[in-house]
Amino acid sequence: MKHLIDPTDLSIEEIAEIIAVAEDIIANRDKYSDICRGKKLATLFYEPSTRTRLSFTAAMMELGGNVLGFADAKSSSVSKGETVQDTVRVINCFADIIAMRHKVEGAPLAATEVSRTPIINAGDGSHSHPTQTMTDLLTIKRELGTLNNLTIGLVGDLKYGRTVHSLIKAMSRYQNTKFILIAPPELALPDYIKHDVCDRYSIPYREVDNIESVIGEVDVLYMTRVQQERFTDLDEYERVKDCFVLDAAKMRGAKEHMAVLHPLPRVNEIAIDVDNDSRAAYFRQVENGKFVRMALILKLLEWQNDSERKFDHGGSDLGCKCPNKLCISNLEPVRKRFESVDGIIRCVYCESQAE
């Protein structure tokens, strides 16, 4: 069985298969309209979401399947103190596949430890958001025709932006990728991504403090919002919230053939005068999200009984403690899982460096 917790749970061949199915769905909508009849998707959303939850719902409906679940932890048994693993054991009796969003990092991985059905991570805290990444990959492929030889500028909240973390992991596996990181020092990319992903796979990256000086180099400009809900110090949020704004004047310096992506919601980081630019791909990206989720649901259901498809994040109790207060290992009774990567011990659930 396969789950999708991190973008690297899928090989690049499996990603290519999913993208190919998504492209076939786009070309032949009718062929897929009844393919999941009798199947149920559970959406367990413990944290607010509009587009991801509705995108999953629309995806399953367009496949002819049904959807159940909750959009708010307060309306579930979590408010009575139920653990994520117990909730999943219960939902396994009702649904064939589960999409879970949680503010606690590692919660979807903990769910895989007990689940009899595929689990899809629909975003865990600041950690990971692999279905957004699948959306981004399909969008890049459709906009630019390739996933190789691309320079990707990532702008804004690279610290708390889980979509950025997942996209870097995914794009690092394609040929000749380069990253330009455009963020204030307070919102810089976490070291574990720089070290375990970029340095480890010798992916060139550089850090700059403005969009103008690099916009002419990038094939993809990935804009993000500053993640207000993750700040503990609101004064710091106020200081950085307006750090980088893309507008039509800046777009004049960009390549003719490039794409501006944004996982949305946008706050003020893309001025509305960019929306009519043909390179502004962020609303097309939303629709791609539905198609790629349709393809993902189909493939995970198909792979469920395929013993060749392995899922293993490894890790064991090395007598360590995870320092991350928002990690599932500190909040619920899950087994401890640590792993040594290049001499650094990390928590398998949230990738924080262990104490």
The nearest distance, CB 64 to ligand ASP, in angstroms, is 27
Encoded one letter per residue, x for contact with ligand ASP by CB under 6 A and - for no contact, window 276-315 reads ----------------------------------------
The nearest distance, CB 57 to ligand ASP, in angstroms, is 15
Q: How far apart are CA 279 and CA 276, in angstroms?
A: 8
Cβ closest to ligand ASP, residue 163 vs residue 330: 163
The nearest distance, CB 101 to ligand ASP, in angstroms, is 8
Alpha-carbon distance values, 93 to 78, 86, 131 (Å): 17, 12, 24
Q: Tell me if 83 sits within 8 A of 59, measured CB to CB.
A: no
Dihedral sign of CA atoms 146, 148, 154, 158 in order = positive
Query: Which tokens sit at 252?
Result: 């004049």
Dihedral sign of CA atoms 91, 17, 109, 44 in order = negative
Cβ closest to ligand ASP, residue 115 vs residue 132: 132
The nearest distance, CB 123 to ligand ASP, in angstroms, is 5
Surface-to-core class of residue 128, CB atoms within 10 Å of its CB (0-12 exposed, 13-18 middle, 19+ buried): buried
Encoded one letter per residue, x for contact with ligand ASP by CB under 6 A and - for no contact, window 309-348 reads ----------------------------------------
Q: How far apart are CA 171 and CA 205, in angstroms?
A: 12
Cβ closest to ligand ASP, residue 57 vs residue 132: 132
The nearest distance, CB 324 to ligand ASP, in angstroms, is 18
Q: How far apart are CA 51 and CA 42, in angstroms?
A: 16
- Tell me if 225 contacts ligand ASP by CB under 6 A: yes
Cβ closest to ligand ASP, residue 129 vs residue 141: 129
Alpha-carbon distance values, 353 to 22, 42, 186, 209, 345 (Å): 37, 32, 19, 27, 6
Encoded one letter per residue, x for contact with ligand ASP by CB under 6 A and - for no contact, window 92-131 reads -------------------------------x-----x--
The nearest distance, CB 19 to ligand ASP, in angstroms, is 20
Over its C-alpha atoms, the chain yields an Rg (Å, rounded) of: 20
Q: Which of residues 17-56 bind ligand ASP (CB under 6 A)?
A: 52
What is the crossing angle of helices 51-62 and 282-303, to 10°?
60
Q: Which of residues 132-151 bind ligand ASP (CB under 6 A)?
A: 132
Beta-bridge partner residues of 232: none
Alpha helices in the chain (DSSP H): 12-27, 51-62, 84-91, 107-112, 130-144, 162-171, 191-193, 234-240, 248-251, 282-303, 328-331
Alpha-carbon distance values, 223 to 8, 215, 263, 289 (Å): 22, 12, 8, 17
By CB under 6 A, name the one of 153, 263, 289, 315 that touches ligand ASP: 263
- Tell me if 163 contacts ligand ASP by CB under 6 A: yes
Cβ closest to ligand ASP, residue 225 vs residue 337: 225
Cβ closest to ligand ASP, residue 129 vs residue 293: 129
Cβ closest to ligand ASP, residue 167 vs residue 295: 167
The nearest distance, CB 260 to ligand ASP, in angstroms, is 15
Q: Which three-class secondary structure string do you get for 244-275?
A: CCECHHHHCCCCCCCEEECCCCCCCCECHHHC
Q: How far apart are CA 25 and CA 244, in angstroms?
A: 36
Number of residues that bind ligand ASP (CB under 6 A): 10
Q: Indicate the residue whose CB is closest to ligand ASP.
A: 263
Return phi, psi of residue 63, to 5°.
-90, 0
Cβ closest to ligand ASP, residue 1 vs residue 54: 54
By CB under 6 A, name the one of 39, 162, 290, 299 that touches ligand ASP: 162
Residues at the contact surface with ligand ASP, assessed by CB under 6 A:
52, 123, 129, 132, 162-163, 225, 227, 263-264
